[in-house]
Structure 1
Amino acid sequence: MRNEYKIVEIGGEGEIVEKKSRFIATVRPVKSEEEALSFLEEMRKKYWNASHNCYAYVIGAQGETMRCSDDGEPSQTAGKPMLDVLLGEELHDTAVVVTRYFGGTLLGTGGLVRAYSKAVQEGLKNSSVVIKRHVILLEIATDYNGIGKIQYLLGQRGLPVKDAEYTEQVRLQVQVPFEMAEELKYEITEATSGQARMEKIWEGMA
């Protein structure tokens, strides 16, 4: 699993005009190929009278699923350039549809590649992109003697406590970047002379 990757959290739209042809890019976060295809169908219905609805999407932390389509434009002039923009921005779980209304003037292959790429960039400018990180949720149980040392270690690393319970013991839940987890466990064990108990509650991208 990658330690971090970028996704579109909130999709957006962007529009450019080239030689009277309108290119409307709609960007959407998607979790699966079914979602991506459903989004494409939605755009085809919305822009039913457009000349073309070209698309590209990248799904999965490793980009396991990648598809693109020129939707009738000359081969490699629409879908592939659109996909290249998503890959260049290192985006995952993201789909984009660029709708073209033909303006009567042919753009040529180079012009089409530039127009479709630029439209996607415009759509991404109006979208909210966030970085997801591979993290674990760690529960730390300690006595009151150890809590100060643990809070000091967490503070040093800028790790916020997600939840805390003060009873006979203190229980803290802390979200820790995956690559930092083993070192932090070692430091807590050392600082509390092995008194603190630690348990992984959850692991994933957050």
Structure 2
Amino acid sequence: MTLWLPRGYSAEAEIEVRRSRFITRLARVDDEDAARAVIASVRAAYPDARHHCLAFIVDVPDAQPVERSSDDGEPAGTAGMPMLEVLRGAGVSNVVAVVTRYFGGVLLGTGGLVRAYSDAVASSLEPAPRVRPVVRHLVGLQVPAADAGRVQGALMNRGVDVMDADWGASVLLTLAVDDPDAALPLVREVAQSDVELVPLGSTVTERPA
């Protein structure tokens, strides 16, 4: 099961390898544009650095994740792909890692670069919290306006997530549930009537991993 970093998460970590500084920016991103915005912000923050190597993975609904990496001038295969492999190995997605390198005057060789860039990302990932994305069903519950407050409060007290309430002559409550069929008996008990749940799509919620 793929894990994400919490929404809004962004952090930096730094390691030093034979006098070269490797500064890693790790951030949660929800699409490719957001990943590229993080990359641009790192380049702007460290304009004098020789390399800004990167890797990111972004989930796409009903499709394969988008994966990108770049060595940004380092020898081919020594930075971006090793960074991407660390992200893959950690089972995380919707994440971007940018490693900024300040050269310390000592050549590391291809093996040394692979280890350094891998270690830079791994060290930033180790303390990062994780969340588990859960797809939940959105369903609509129509109730009389006179009963809406009681029903909404009772559902919430029973652990049902009420996402929205559209008030009118009657009230449409939007509920997020794991299984509409399993939720229906509870909803009918609370509503004290033979109500039906109308499918309204789905949403993704995030729970601590």
Change beyond 3 A, Cα 1:193–1:36: closer
Contact 2:5-2:128 within 8 A present in 1 as well: no
How far is 1:71 from its partner? 1.0
Which residue of 1 is the match for residue 57 of structure 2? 58
CA offsets per residue over residues 110-133 of structure 1, 9 Å max, x none?
Answer: 222221112112222454432221
Which residue of 1 is the match for residue 80 of structure 2? 79
Letter in 1 for 2:77: Q
CA offsets per residue over residues 68-100 of structure 1, 9 Å max, x none?
Answer: 011111221110111112222222221110001
Which residue of 2 is the match for residue 175 of structure 1? 176
Distance in 2, Cα, partners of 1:67 & 1:163: 37
Distance in 1, Cα, partners of 2:40 & 2:119: 23
Distance in 2, Cα, partners of 1:81 & 1:63: 20
Contact 1:21-1:103 within 8 A present in 2 as well: yes
How far is 1:104 from its partner? 1.6
How far is 1:48 from its partner? 1.5
Contact 1:189-1:195 within 8 A present in 2 as well: no
How far is 1:33 from its partner? 2.2
Letter in 2 for 1:49: D
Contact 2:24-2:99 within 8 A present in 1 as well: yes
CA offsets per residue over residues 120-164 of structure 1, 9 Å max, x none?
Answer: 1222245443222111222335698xx99xx69x94xx5445568
Instruction: Please show how residues 13-52 of structure 1 align to structure 2 within 5 Å.
Output: 13-52=12-51
Contact 2:142-2:171 within 8 A present in 1 as well: yes
Contact 1:7-1:132 within 8 A present in 2 as well: no
CA offsets per residue over residues 34-53 of structure 1, 9 Å max, x none?
Answer: 33223222212221111211
Which residue of 2 is the match for residue 6 of structure 1? 4
Letter in 1 for 2:99: V
Give the % identical residues: 33
Instruction: Please show how residues 129-144 of structure 1 align to structure 2 within 5 Å.
Output: 129-141=130-142
**Structure 2, unaligned stretches of length 5 or more?**
none
3-state SS of 1:64 partner: strand
Q: Normalising by the residue count of structure 1, what TM-score does the alignment of the two structures yield?
A: 0.75
Letter in 1 for 2:135: H
Which residue of 2 is the match for residue 123 of structure 1? 124
Letter in 1 for 2:141: I
The CA RMSD measured in Å over matched residues stands at 3.4
Equivalent pairs, count: 194
How far is 1:189 from its partner? 8.6
Distance in 1, Cα, partners of 2:64 & 2:23: 25
Instruction: Please show how residues 180-191 of structure 1 align to structure 2 within 5 Å.
Output: 180-185=179-184, 187=185
Q: Normalising by the residue count of structure 2, what TM-score does the alignment of the two structures yield?
A: 0.74
3-state SS of 1:96 partner: strand
Contact 1:138-1:201 within 8 A present in 2 as well: yes
Change beyond 3 A, Cα 1:205–1:190: closer
CA offsets per residue over residues 142-190 of structure 1, 9 Å max, x none?
Answer: 698xx99xx69x94xx54455689xx9997543212xx333434x4599
